[in-house]
């Protein structure tokens, strides 16, 4: 009895050992299944974000136009600034030009006055000589001298005195104060008498000649 019991005891132990081993081997499988279920649940929670909608063409167009508007405003501001600067420069140039013209006019007037000072002095001498009882002949010579000096000064200033007697009548440079009957056809429509000489300054008529024109009778 004791021997049989000794033999059966290991058998029972070996029979029960595999059952425990089966239980231990099933535990890793259950852990794997738990991990897989957990990962599956995690994947179900983390969803892929939906795709972004395409941009609205109208919004893009508005942004493009707004950018162009800003650029045009900047360009316009630049042009306005440049225009104001040009206006200021032109105004300064105009004022400088006016000042230069005024100085030139004053200088020209000064030259005229300087040329006429000798004439004024000679007139004073003639007046003094007349007051002291100078003869008419000496007075006449003094006046002729002053007249010649005056014409010389005018010539020096560029003024030309001209007498159109005998020339064809030109209404652009002459002013007819009347007609004179003539019998010679060569004198018809010509100046037969100059009442006042004309004056020219370069190509400009300062004063037209006052004349009488011949008319064939």
118 and 175 co-located in one domain: no
pLDDT at 215 (0 to 100): 92
Q: Residues 141-150: what's their mean pLDDT?
A: 90
Q: In this structure, is residue 207 part of a structural domain? A: yes
122 and 194 co-located in one domain: no
Domain boundary among 128, 157, 186: 157
Closest-CA residue to 174 (of 198, 152, 150, 155): 198
Q: In this structure, is residue 15 part of a structural domain? A: no
pLDDT tens digit string along 16-74? 444 444 444 444 454 445 554 444 444 455 677 777 778 788 888 888 889 899 999 99
**Number of domains forming the structure of the chain:** 2
Domain boundary among 157, 189, 204: 157
State yes or no: pLDDT of 15 exceeds 50: no
Between residues 149 and 43, the one the model is more confident about? 149
The CATH number of whichever domain residue 94 belongs to comes to 3.90.20
pLDDT at 97 (0 to 100): 94
């Amino acid at each position: 009895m004791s021997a049989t019991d000794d033999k059966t005891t290991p058998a029972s132990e070996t029979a029960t050992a595999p059952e425990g081993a089966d239980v231990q081997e099933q535990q890793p499988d259950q852990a794997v299944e738990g991990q897989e279920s957990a990962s599956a649940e995690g994947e179900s929670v983390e969803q892929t974000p939906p795709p972004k909608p395409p941009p609205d063409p109208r919004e893009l167009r508005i942004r493009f136009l707004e950018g162009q508007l800003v650029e045009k405003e900047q360009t316009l501001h630049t042009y306005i600034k440049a225009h104001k600067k040009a206006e200021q420069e032109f105004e300064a140039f105009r004022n400088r030009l006016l000042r230069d013209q005024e100085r030139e006019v004053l200088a020209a007037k000064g030259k005229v006055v300087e040329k006429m000072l000798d004439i004024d002095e000679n007139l004073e001498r003639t007046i003094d000589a007349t007051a002291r009882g100078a003869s008419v002949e000496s007075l006449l010579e003094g006046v002729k001298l002053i007249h010649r000096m005056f014409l010389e000064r005018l010539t020096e200033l560029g003024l030309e005195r001209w007498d159109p007697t005998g020339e064809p009548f030109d209404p652009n440079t002459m002013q007819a104060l009347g007609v004179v009957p003539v019998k010679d056809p060569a004198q018809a429509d010509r100046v037969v008498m100059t009442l006042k000489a004309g004056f020219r300054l370069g190509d400009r008529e300062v004063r037209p000649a006052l004349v009488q024109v011949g008319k064939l009778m």
